Amino acid sequence: GENVEQHPSTLSVQEGDSAVIKCTYSDSASNYFPWYKQELGKGPQLIIDIRSNVGEKKDQRIAVTLNKTAKHFSLHITETQPEDSAVYFCAAAAGNKLTFGGGTRVLVKP
């Protein structure tokens, strides 16, 4: 089955700096890659996603890149703000199965 690895597990950045989270996947059949943000006490919230026919997608301060050949994808957050502090999960989907990475706890220091 699919295996998704996510790094780093924790990330501390200064407010205004950029944050990058990287994920790798194993199943070449995976063709959809969402990212979720989970705030304390809440369920994950979809923040951005990318399909396998696209290499990059941007939405305001967040962007995702996908390298299908290398089987890795990344989340980039620019100009980080304290409200970006949360746990972020990447995931990879093949058909009906969605497999999550282990999560990255991001702390933005004011």
Give residues in contact with another protein (CB under 8 A): 1, 4, 6, 9, 32, 34, 36, 41-46, 49, 89, 91, 93-103
Alpha carbon dihedral 75, 80, 83, 84, in 10-degree steps, equals 20
Residue 5, amino acid: E
Closest CB to another protein among 12 and 18?
12
Q: Nearest distance from residue 41's CB to another protein, in Å?
A: 8
Pairing of strands 10-14, 62-67: unpaired
Closest CB to another protein among 49 and 78?
49
How far apart, in whole angstroms, are the C-alpha atoms of residue 63 and residue 6? 16
Q: Nearest distance from residue 89's CB to another protein, in Å?
A: 6
